[in-house]
């Protein structure tokens, strides 16, 4: 599996431009163990899937990065959402009707539940202070003040079959995913099947938790909801010093 990596600077000093690194990871496949007898019986075995090119964006987990849910009922591409909100990276999201753009699963924006859960899938949650989590605990996050959350898809790390058929998970198609470790947030995009994507995120990116987001037509088309990552405004606010009230003596002196 070939990988193109885009790193954002860690939270030290000024903001630098994006650094693009071409990283050859190699074909990330679990090799099939084929005996000599099996080779004799099957002189023309099925070819392994071609190498998959994956683009990955790495962001630091720190106060300088914030996640914003881009909610546009009319639908927009992920690039439009990223530009509209001044983002530096974007992740597809939401289960929705492809024509009406009606949300079909859990969506919560800053504590306000916009769509109730319908499938009990894993979801991405962002707390008031900016902490990011991938969870299945609706009781902990649903309706909680300041928390935004969005139901995504297949749990990748630890791997958990989330209601999708094995045939669907085995398809090589456009996919996006988000993975977390102690220091970084990874956004992965490319053509892959579910299991190979899960192995890549866990083994190569060393993520302790990860989830597949809505892919397919959403990667190339429009959706009502995306997750936009952008720089947080941490500039100091001007301080206002209250003026002391004049004393009685000062008032008499000025009269």
On the question of pLDDT at 230 being above 90, the answer is: yes
pLDDT, tens digit (0-9, with 9 covering 90-100), for 143-163: 999 999 999 888 999 998 776
Which is more confident, 240 or 163?
163
Average pLDDT, the chain: 77
Burial class (CB in 10 A: 0-12, 13-18, 19+), 18: exposed
Which candidate, 148, 215, 203, places its Cα nearest to that of 179? Answer: 203
Q: How far apart are CA 38 and CA 196, in angstroms?
A: 25
Q: Give the single-character DSSP code of 6.
A: E
Angle at 42 between CA 41 and CA 43, to 5 degrees: 110
pLDDT, tens digit (0-9, with 9 covering 90-100), for 20-62: 333 333 333 333 322 223 333 333 333 444 455 678 999 999 9
What is the reported pLDDT for 244? 54
Residue 156 near residue 212, CB atoms below 8 Å: yes
């Amino acid at each position: 599996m070939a990988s193109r990596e885009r790193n954002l600077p860690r939270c030290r000093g000024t903001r630098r431009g994006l650094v693009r690194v071409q990283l050859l990871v190699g074909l990330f496949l679990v090799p099939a163990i084929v005996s000599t007898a099996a080779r004799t019986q099957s002189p023309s075995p099925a070819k392994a899937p071609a190498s998959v090119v994956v683009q990955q964006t790495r962001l630091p987990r720190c106060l300088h990065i914030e996640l914003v849910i881009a909610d546009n009922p009319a639908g927009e591409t992920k690039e439009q959402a990223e530009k509209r909100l001044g983002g530096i990276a974007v992740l597809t999201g939401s289960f929705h009707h492809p024509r009406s753009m009606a949300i079909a699963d859990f969506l919560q924006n800053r504590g306000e539940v916009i769509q109730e859960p319908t499938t009990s899938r894993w979801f991405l949650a962002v707390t008031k202070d900016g902490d990011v989590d991938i969870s299945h605990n609706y009781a902990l996050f649903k309706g909680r003040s300041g928390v935004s959350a969005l139901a995504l898809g297949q749990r990748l790390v630890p791997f958990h079959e989330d209601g999708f058929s094995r045939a669907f998970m085995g398809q090589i198609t456009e996919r996006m995913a988000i993975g977390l470790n102690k220091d970084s947030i990874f956004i992965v995009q490319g053509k892959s099947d579910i299991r190979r994507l899960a192995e890549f995120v866990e083994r190569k990116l060393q993520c302790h938790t990860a989830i597949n987001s809505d892919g397919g037509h959403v990667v190339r088309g429009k959706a009502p909801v995306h997750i936009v990552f952008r720089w947080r405004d941490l500039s100091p606010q001007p301080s206002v010093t209250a003026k002391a009230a004049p004393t009685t003596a000062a008032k008499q002196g000025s009269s």
